[in-house]
Every structure is written in structure tokens, then in C-alpha cells.
Amino acid sequence: MSSRPLIPAVIVVMLTACMSATAVTPRADLLGTPVPPSAANRTVTLSPGVHYINVTGGDVVRFLGSGQEFAWSFDTSPIVQTFELNQVAPGGALGQQVRVYIAPDPRYSEHADFNHSDYRSGAAASATAR
């Protein structure tokens, strides 16, 4: 049995591994904005075992960790689905790497207009009346 057919498969696997290792880090201006902790509607305590958190676009979260606090508004770009919280946290606020996973902001869903009652009753009715 020849190992020749395995060579292309090994090359594809290696290239895929290299691409994921060199993932692009999103620009800071696409990641949201810092806000006062009093503006937060959710609090997350970043204990040493926390390595990721889930948020929804538009969330305003207060983070407690390493004796510090900060808050972040996840008014992120729709192209940002994940980033390292360490990119935006004040120095020393996190004792470990913490990845943020961002669900799309439901206010900007492509179906949001169709769920609005005024659209269903008013605009749709006038469009069919013509």
C-alpha cells in the first residue's frame, strides 16, 4: 500500500491548522464600548475557572475579577462573533484568558420588521389593497 494518497490529506490538515492558529483579531472599535459599571444590566464574576462567557449583542455586562470591576457594552459589529475579553479589559482585571461568544443582537435580526405588529397590520394590508 502506497502512502502517496495520504500526502494531500496531510497537507490539507496542516494548512487548516495553520489558518486557525493565525486567526485574525478583530479591531477594538468593533468590539463594543466601555461603560460605567452602574449602566450594566448583568454581572459576571470572573473566577479562576471561567474561561468563556456567552453574551448577546447589545448586552451591557459588569465584570468582577481580581479585585477589580469594569463594564462593557457589547454593541459589537455583526461580523464579530467571538473575541478575547482580555483585549478590552483594564490591565490586571483578569487573571486568565477569557473568550466572549456573542449571539446576534435580536433587535437587528433580518426578520425583526416582519415580527413587528404595525408592519403586519398596517403596511402589509396597504400593500395588498393596491
- Buried b vs exposed e over 108-129: b needs ≥16 C-beta within 10 Å? eeeeeeeeeeeeeeeeeeeeee
pLDDT at 101: 97
pLDDT at 21: 46
The separation between CA 10 and the C-alpha centre of its own chain, rounded to angstroms, equals: 32
Separation CA 130–CA 91 (nearest Å): 61
- Strands in 52-56's sheet, in edge-to-edge order, are 52-56, 99-103, 82-84
For cell 468593533, the residue is: 30
DSSP state for residue 41 in the 8-state scheme: S
pLDDT at 65: 86
Q: Helix H segments across the chain?
A: 6-21, 112-115, 117-118, 124-129
pLDDT at 3: 57
Q: Which pTM value belongs to this model?
A: 0.66
Residue by residue, pLDDT tens for the chain (130 residues) are 555 666 666 566 665 555 444 466 778 789 999 999 999 999 999 998 999 999 999 999 999 988 899 999 999 988 899 999 999 999 888 889 999 999 998 887 765 555 555 555 555 444 444 4
pLDDT at 77: 87
pLDDT at 107: 82
Delineate the domains of the chain, giving CATH numbers in brackets.
27-108 (2.60.40.2280)
For cell 478590552, the residue is: 88
Phi, psi of 126 (to 5 degrees): -70, -30
pLDDT at 111: 57
